[in-house]
Amino acid sequence: MNHHPPSPVGRALTVVLGAVPFTVITLLVFGGWPPLQQWDTSVAARASTYGATHPNVVDFWQVVGAVVLPWTSRAVIVIVAVYLWHRRARLLTVWLLVSAGAELGLVQAAQYIFTRSRPAQQLVEADGWSYVSGHATAAFVMAGALGVVLPSVRGWRRRFRLLVLLPVIAVVWIASVDRLALNVHYVSDVLGGWALGLAILTATSIGFGLRPGLRRRRRRTPPSPLETARPPRAAVIVNPIKVGDGVAFRRKVTRSLELRGFDDPLWLETRADDSGNAMAKRAIEYESDLVLVAGGDGTVRVVCAALAHTGIPVGVIPAGTGNLLARNLHIPLDLDDALERILEGRDRRIDMVSVYGDELDTDRFAVMAGLGLDAAIISGAPPVLKAQIGWPAYLVSTARNINHPSVRVQITFDDELTIERRVRTVVVGNVGMLQANIPLLPDARPDDGLLDVVVIAPRRVTQWPIVVWRLMTRTNRADMYLERFTGRKVEIHAAVDVQRQLDGDPIGPGRSLTAEIEPGALIARVPRRR
């Protein structure tokens, strides 16, 4: 799946095209198109005549119908969603559940709106309206959803995917034929169900930024001895806590690198007492041509900080709660997608930011540093909840800290301009997007050689909706609630100790934080533009 989506017009056009088959079939059905009416009545008459003389066949299809109920298809989707949640494919999990929910709701809506009677000579008792077939729609959505999901499951070889996908496709046909054989639906009801399933999958896929079919593997020819003295080397730095199925992931990475002519990678795992610094130094000593880092924002920050100014490309494979650097570099949030897109990607120089303050050794960050409410939210997010549901755990902490006290700060930009404010939080960013595509710093770019700063200072809780509205609408007007600045160096001094954070990791309370841009310090491997 591709998380680097087309334009809004292209997305809207794709959704419209996905809905065209359902629209056309519906118009033909209720417009009384003679060829379709003749087909419907002919198949219904044959099913009724055959079933009347073959009761054993009717009994067989009744049993089949009891097995391939719409709720069976929805249960399969829920089971797969639980499995994907365990594998930390959170976006796919939510997409599956939304698709199943949309199928349930839209089938009921279609039957309520169109109220088409069932064939007169049903072979079994069936309640409700005929258009569309809920069995056909649910089975189609299940098959289509699994067709999107299976290519994204780590460690599943193609033949295993086919062994699952082919029976699922067969279920669509069986569920549909069952409805016709029992004469409880017309052919057009089944076709309408398929078309509705297609419309649902198209709309939800586009809505979630998924574009099935773009996960093609392209085998690169290994470099010849004339091109390089040795095969390229890669080091893989992994936070084993964040990467759920470590064995499957390691097999996937090793195989993907092998296809591109790399030596067996140097595999390095972070530890509780080292988030990646020693591992990054080991990768440098190994003379790596590429470093892949799979972990959360903390692991990514530490590794990128160590690899700054080395000239070694870093590929971020997101596996954490926020994954902010990956989001801002348009790297897919699914591990498999990220791996494939990075290995087929391009090198891009981005800025890093050096930072220091009281009780804080000189360090670097790639995303954002903050002082005040944002750091308190990060510090207060329940670790168990973060592990279970990901970044929404921060919403719980936000609710707890909504009345976080304001603090008086002095902010100096480039050793020239100094301002004093009473604020809730100050955030210094190298990039601008938060989770859920919230544009905290809409003008920030990771390679513009500038720091972007936002000062947020609502005086009362009732003023927070104004701030949120301005953030979501990217309003650039400055007022007492929200101000933005830019500079190459930013010094923040608070009147009292307040919480601080670097790239989503709390670094403890303090009164000062100084950030200075390091233009083009890091080479990041990012997806190619499409």
The model's pLDDT over 9-56, given as tens digits with 9 standing for 90+, comes to 777 888 888 899 999 999 999 999 999 999 999 999 999 899 889 889
Q: Which residues contact 364 (CB under 8 A, 6 or more apart)?
A: 301, 304, 305, 308, 352, 353, 354, 355, 518, 521
Q: What's the CA gap between 408 and 511, in Å, rounded?
A: 10
Which range (1-15, 118-132, 393-407, 506-520) has the least confidence?
Answer: 1-15
Q: Which of 200-209, 216-225, 250-259, 478-487 has the highest mean pLDDT?
A: 250-259
Write a three-state SS string for 142-168.
Answer: HHHHHHHHHHHCCCCCHHHHHHHHHHH
Question: What pTM was computed for the model?
Answer: 0.58
The model's pLDDT over 467-503, given as tens digits with 9 standing for 90+, comes to 778 777 766 666 778 899 999 999 999 999 999 999 8
Q: What residue ranges do the domains of the chain occupy?
A: 8-207, 234-357, 361-515
Average confidence (pLDDT) over 117-142: 90
Q: What's the CA gap between 489 and 513, in Å, rounded?
A: 11
Q: Is the predicted pLDDT of residue 274 greater than 50, yes or no?
A: yes
Q: What's the CA gap between 233 and 290, in Å, rounded?
A: 7
| Model confidence band, residue 120 (pLDDT cutoffs 50, 70, 90) | confident
**348 forms bridges with which residues in the sheet?**
524
pLDDT at residue 392, as a whole number: 66
Domain 234-357 has CATH 3.40.50.10330: yes
> Can you tell me which residue has the tokens 């709106």?
113
pLDDT at residue 87, as a whole number: 65
pLDDT at residue 376, as a whole number: 85
Q: What's the CA gap between 403 and 377, in Å, rounded?
A: 11
Average confidence (pLDDT) over 307-324: 89
* Contact yes or no for 387/242 (Cβ under 8 A): no
pLDDT at residue 223, as a whole number: 46
Domain 361-515 has CATH 1.10.4190.10: no
- In the chain the first and final C-alpha atoms are separated, in Å, by 13
Which range (74-88, 221-235, 310-324, 511-525) has the least confidence?
Answer: 221-235
Please give the residue that has the higher pLDDT: either 403 or 117.
117
Give whole-number Cα distances, 92 to 127, 211, 236, 247, in Å.
34, 12, 25, 21
Cβ neighbourhood burial of 479 (10 Å; 0-12, 13-18, 19+): exposed
> Can you tell me which residue has the tokens 């086919």?
162
- The DSSP bridge pattern shows strands 505-506 and 482-487 to be unpaired
Average confidence (pLDDT) over 135-153: 82
The model's pLDDT over 167-189, given as tens digits with 9 standing for 90+, comes to 888 889 999 999 999 999 999 99
pLDDT at residue 384, as a whole number: 64
Of 135, 145, 143, residue with least CA distance to 165 = 143
Of 416, 486, 484, residue with least CA distance to 450 = 486
Please give the residue that has the higher pLDDT: either 332 or 208.
332
Average confidence (pLDDT) over 409-426: 93
The model's pLDDT over 67-118, given as tens digits with 9 standing for 90+, comes to 888 999 999 999 988 887 776 667 788 889 999 999 999 999 999 999 999 9
Q: Is the predicted pLDDT of residue 334 greater than 60, yes or no?
A: yes
Please give the residue that has the higher pLDDT: either 154 or 338.
338
